[in-house]
Amino acid sequence: MVMGSRSGVFPSLAVVIEWENAVLAKLSRTMRMLEQLRQQLTEIAPLLGEKAEVLFLYDHTRVSAELIQNAVGKVFGNTPFCEVRIISTKGKRYYELKNESLLYTQKDLLVFLDSDVVPEDGWLRGLLKAFEQEDMKVVCGNTYVSPDGLYGKAMALFWFFPLRQDDEGLVTSNSFFANNVVFRREVLKKYPFPHLENFRGQCLSLARLLRNEGIPIYLQRSSRVSHPPPNGFWHFACRALCQGHDEALEAHRGSSNGVLLGAATRYFQSLREAYWEIFRGYPKVQLSRFGGVCAFGIAATYHSLALAGELATRVHPSLVRRYFSI
C-alpha cells in the first residue's frame, strides 16, 4: 500500500481546478462541483496523512478574481481539512493552467477536475483507491455528458464523451480526459501537457506519449463526472468551429491537393458515426424515434459547423483562433 505520509492511507494530494470552462458554463454547475468536492474531501480527510490542497488557477485578463473568491468562499469558507488557494496567471489557457499547478504544490498526486463538471458520489475516493498500488502512475475516471432535455441527450449521444456506464472496477485505457484524471507529480513534471496550437486534444497527444514511454493509463470506471453540453447556441457553434480548426491542424499538411476531399471525407464519416451512435443509443437516454431524428439534426448542424471551421483554417490558419474561443 502506498503511504502519503507515515500515518496516511492515501498519498498526499492537490486538487487542481482551472477557472476557464466556468466562463461559458452556468455558475450553478460550478457551485455544484464545489459542493461535491468539499463533501468528498471531508469524507477522505481521515485517510490523509496531511491536509489536501485545492488550487484554483485562472487568467486574470479573462476572469474576475472577485467572482472566484465569492464562489469559492461560499463553499470553502471554513475548511480546516484542506488548504485552498486561488492563483492568478496572465494569458494562461486551459492546459497551461494545469501545467502551471506544478509550480504551486509539492503534493504526491495532482487531481485534475474542471470547473464545469460535477462529480458523482465516491468519485475522489475511487480515484485515490487505485493509488494503493505502488506502480500506479496515471488514473482517469469516466466523463459523460449530462443527458438533460432533447439537446443534452443529443450531445450525450454523438459528442466525444461516451454515454454514462454503470460498470465498476479498474481497467487499462488508451486515453483520458483532462477534466477527470490523476497524475503522480513526477510523471506530470516529466511529461506535461504539450504546447500545441489546438484548442483541445493535448490530452490525446499526452496519452500517446505516455503509452510510447511505457507508462500505462488506468480507468477507474466508478469515478464518474457529468459534463455539460455547450451552453447555448453561441457556445455550441464555437465548440464546433474550434473542433474543425483542430481537425485541420491534425490533418495531413503539405500541398493543398486533396484538402477538400479530405475534409469532405471526415465530414461524411462524422455524420455516419453520429447516425449510428444516435440510432443505437436513443432508447438508452429515453428519446423517442422523433427525438432521435431531432438529435441527428443537431449532430448534422454541429459537424457542418466543424467542417466550416476546418475549411476556414485551411484557407486562413489564424482565422478561427482570432475570432472564436472555447
Report the share of the chain in percent with pLDDT over 70.
95
The pLDDT of residue 4: 42
261 shares a domain with 173: no
Point out the domain boundary residue: 227, 257, 291: 227
In-domain check, residue 5 = no
170 and 49 in one domain? yes
pLDDT for res 254: 45
d(CA 17, CA 129): 21
Average of per-residue pLDDT across 150-161? 97
Dist. CA 197–CA 242, nearest whole Å: 11
Secondary structure class of 32 (helix, strand, coil): helix
pLDDT higher than 70, residue 253: no
What confidence category does residue 154 fall into, taking pLDDT thresholds of 50, 70 and 90?
very high
Kindly state whether residue 61 falls inside one of the protein's structural domains: yes
Give per-residue pLDDT as tens, 311-321: 999 999 899 99
Mean pLDDT of 36-54: 96
Residues 45 and 144 in one domain: yes
pLDDT reported for residue 134 = 87
Place of cell 447555448: 232
Extract the C-alpha cell encoding 190. 516529466
Q: Are residues 238 and 303 in the same domain?
A: yes
CB of 87 within 8 A of CB of 56? yes
One domain, residues 19 and 163:
yes
Q: How many CB atoms lie within 10 A of CB 182?
A: 30
128 phi, psi to nearest 5 deg: -70, -35
Q: Nearest-CA neighbor of 127 among 181, 73, 79?
A: 181
Average pLDDT for residues 93-116, to the nearest whole number? 97
Domain boundary among 194, 227, 260: 227
Burial of 229: CB neighbours in 10 Å, binned 0-12, 13-18, 19+:
buried
| Predicted local confidence at residue 8, as pLDDT | 65
Do 277 and 130 share a structural domain?
no
Q: What pLDDT is recorded for position 261?
A: 85
| AA identity, residue 64 | S
- Let me know if residue 6 belongs to a domain: no
Lowest mean pLDDT among 51-60, 203-212, 314-323: 314-323
Write down the pLDDT at residue 258: 67
The owner of cell 438529435 is 295
- Residue 255 reports pLDDT greater than 60: no
Question: Of 196, 227, 258, which closes a domain?
Answer: 227
Residues 73 and 152 in one domain: yes
Among residues 195, 152, 196, 160, the alpha carbon closest in space to that of 179 is found at 160
Q: Count CB neighbours of 76 within 10 A.
A: 19
Parallel/antiparallel/unpaired status of strands 180-184 and 109-114: antiparallel
Q: Tell me, what's the pLDDT at 310? A: 95
Q: Half-sphere exposure (CA, 13 Å, Cβ side) for 104?
A: 22
SS3 state of residue 35: helix
Query: Among 219, 202, 211, which Cα is nearest to 144's?
Result: 219
- Alpha carbon of 133 to those of 2, 97, 103, 115, 129: distances in Å? 6, 28, 26, 29, 8
Residue 56 falls inside a structural domain: yes
**How far is it, in rounded angstroms, from Cα 140 to Cα 174?**
11
pLDDT at 41: 97
Eight-class DSSP state of 37: H
- The residue ranking higher by pLDDT, 125 or 252, is 125
Question: Is 142 inside any structural domain?
Answer: yes
Q: Which domain holds residue 130?
A: 13-227
CATH number assigned to the domain comprising residue 104 = 3.90.550.10
% of the chain beyond a pLDDT of 90: 85
Mean pLDDT calculated for residue range 108-128: 97
Identify whether 164 is part of a domain: yes
Residues 288-293, mean pLDDT to the nearest whole number: 96
Residue 34 lies in a domain: yes
> Is 1's pLDDT higher than 60?
no
Residues 137, 8: Cα–Cα separation, whole Å: 18
Whether residues 215 and 237 share a domain: the answer is no
Domain presence at residue 3: no
The answer to whether the beta carbons of residues 117 and 143 sit under 8 Å apart is yes
Among 96, 304, 104, smallest CA distance to 200 is for 96
- In the chain, how many domains are there? 2
Computed over every residue of the chain, the mean pLDDT equals 93
Q: Specify the pLDDT at position 281.
A: 95
Grid cell 492568478 — which residue?
A: 88
pLDDT at 288 over 80: yes
Same domain, 279 and 299: yes
- Verify that 201 and 254 share a domain, yes or no: no
Strands 217-227 and 118-119: antiparallel
Residues 192 and 46 in one domain: yes
Residue 197 has a pLDDT of 87
Q: Is the pTM of this model over 0.85?
A: yes
Confidence of residue 251 (pLDDT cuts 50, 70, 90): confident
Considering the domain architecture, whether residues 87 and 201 belong to the same structural domain is answered as yes
Distance CA 143, CA 176 (A): 9
